[in-house]
Structure 1
Amino acid sequence: MTLLPGAAAAPPPRLPSPWTLSSFWFGTAFMWLLLLLVLMPAEVVQFVGDERKGTFLGLLGGIGALVALVLPPIVGNYSDRIGKRLPLIRLGVGVNLIGLAVMGYAASALQGISGFWVYLAGFLLVQFGNNYATAPYSALVPELVPPLLRGRYSGVMGMLQASGQLLGGVGALVIGLLDLPDALSYVLIAAVLLISAVVTLRGVPETQLQAQRLAAPGKRLNVAQLFAHQPFLWVFITRALFALGQYSVQPFLQFYAGDVLHQKNPATATSLLLMAIILASIATTLIGGRVSDRIGRKPVIYLAGTVMAVMAVALLFAPNFYVALGLALAFGLGFGAFTSVDWALGSDAMPSSSSYARDMGIWHVAFVGPQLVETPQGALLDWGNAQGGNLGYSLVFGLAAACFILGVLLVRNVPETVHNAADRAVT
């Protein structure tokens, strides 16, 4: 690669430990599990009652997803241009913590529809801050980790995310059993998030983006060129399908536990189902990532997606809670394997090293964009259940399975080995 006159070659940044690099994902996963699957469903019921719980929970998730949809590419683009990652992560974490404080205040001190709007405002701050931080953070794996190690790093990331979710499930179980105040849950979330962020911020080097841009001018692709790059296009589509399947079911698990499995304490039952999924996923995350470095990403996804689709349908026919726990364990094996290679596959598909944060932010839209279906899916759930026979659950779980299968079929279009074509052109 030819340098411009006067541009010195920058030494490559040191490669941090995969555990340090992914620490912030641990705290983020802990936060989202407690918020999306335990605290928010229960608190929406307190604010608006049972009859409108699906609609208002869908509204809350859908509006929050708009922030997650729009913000990462914008912040990622800004991060690429100023050549900084860590200061933006620090600022985002600060806003995230403020949002948690607002949500905790609304949940513990306010009631009725007015309390719901304050709760929504806090949730928007959480979404803004977390996505502001994770946009530049998402660029660190493709930027710092060599391709041959990305499966390993993606596996560690998946395991830490699953471990954060597991700790969130345990925390929710303890808080529910001891009937602790709502505010304590938000203090706990803030503490875990802050500690995990500090570990990453102290252990990851700032990148050398300005030097890279001077060394290789003109290789930055616009958005149209990015989607014209076939590996990126198909990774984006297939990730969106898997996320669509996940968000067709995930927000309504607590309602499923109460309405279909007839559990007297749906929040506790949901925590146990989630812990079963997470424990099983931990068993396959590290293995799946390492295996994908040897045999390729796609075979792992074929198996993982098929298992997830079959288990999503099987949950509808679970005769009791214990069978549902067993099916959740099987689903977790597939989910963990998928998670272990997801980030590696996306990193492999990035076409240019000069815009990692922007491009990873756009790719991340494929995951958060489907959260918007929570609003129509919530309404569909309420409508279907009003027809009788838990039809609403059949509709949303069936849609989830269809999305998983379609994702498996279309991932065949992703090339197994991806090279940075734009970088090769300027070498």
Structure 2
Amino acid sequence: MLKNKNIILGVCGSIAAYKSAFLVRLLVKAGANVKVILTPDGANFITPLTLATLSKNPVYTQYFEEETGVWSNHVELGLWADLIIIAPISANTLAKLATGICDNLLTAIYLSAKCPVYVAPAMDLDMWKHESTQNNIEKISSYGNTVISPGSGELASGLYGEGRMAEPEDIITFLEQILKESLPLYGKNVMVTAGPTYEAIDPVRFIGNHSSGKMGFALANELAKLGANITLITGPTALKASTELKRIDVVSADEMLNACSSIFPEIDITVMCAAVADYRPKVVATEKIKKNDNELLLELEKTVDILASLGREKKANQILVGFALETNDEENYAKGKLEKKNLDLVILNSLNDKGAGFKSDTNKITIFNKALERTVFEMKSKTEVAKDICAAILNISK
């Protein structure tokens, strides 16, 4: 959730400032880009050098550095940030945010920012309980800021009670949950199929295809970034899935059918990207077939059409997306599949497009929706193609 986020961490004058070092480290470990704004009082509790070393960025303390002649542009910093965290925030700075006082770099950035702001108060019990502090909390909350409530425990004064800054690990968990809940597919159950299926001829040989699973895995990853709960059902592939995804490995078309059918009733969005075998040997040899003859004749039978099967079961509130890989008369076949199999979207890719199709890292697609409206995309990486498909899914899920 925090990867590649631009985060400003404000650090105010409080004994809890030592926790900011741990918070910076956790944010950086989560993949965030962190810039620290240290108030003059904050610098009495923790050094700029410590925070600069951990954040891998210079620490900002004032508008103008006389020794270097560098001016810190508060507007630029405020617009750079995807979110601002002030942890710890003192009673003093809390009052400034509530009343619009702008007498240091941190408060100027706060007033310039367009992003969400989170504050983690830290102060003594009586200061926290004071009516003016609670009024300020209510006021900054009414501005749309989010307060990460302090915990209870032993305080610097020796008192025991509420006022301890939330632990850095708890702040990270809080932020990740808030960010996840804001994503467009948060709480949605999504099933993605990927890869080929292998249909056994004997214990050694099989009928299969060249699918690598790259497109399906890219889709699963992008849908997860949108907040969805992903179940990835994949045929044989060497690809590794994110640990956040639930992965079910299958081999044959029958195994994929059973895996899909067992969870489909609880699924909100299904993306059938797997290249499922259309035929399988009618009889599977129990022993390895010896090459005694010049010819080997295999009698094949159709596998169950998983996409059509799910299309028949689909309810009005479910979204079903299919793929069509064609070599001729591509658009007519794709539109036919859309209508016959009760799909909401069909993604067409052609083996006639160099760089598209199996095993490559790129793809070129055309998307048809239920109204047969056609959107053509240029050749892109499969990650970018996955983003285009996700955008089309979001468009019909509104």
Choose between structure 1 and 2: higher strand proportion. 2
Which structure carries more relative contact order (alpha carbon 8 Å, separation 6+)? 1
The question of a shared fold, defined as TM-score above 0.5 by the shorter chain, is answered with no
Structure with larger Rg: 2
Choose between structure 1 and 2: higher helix proportion. 1
> TM-score with structure 1 length normalisation?
0.19
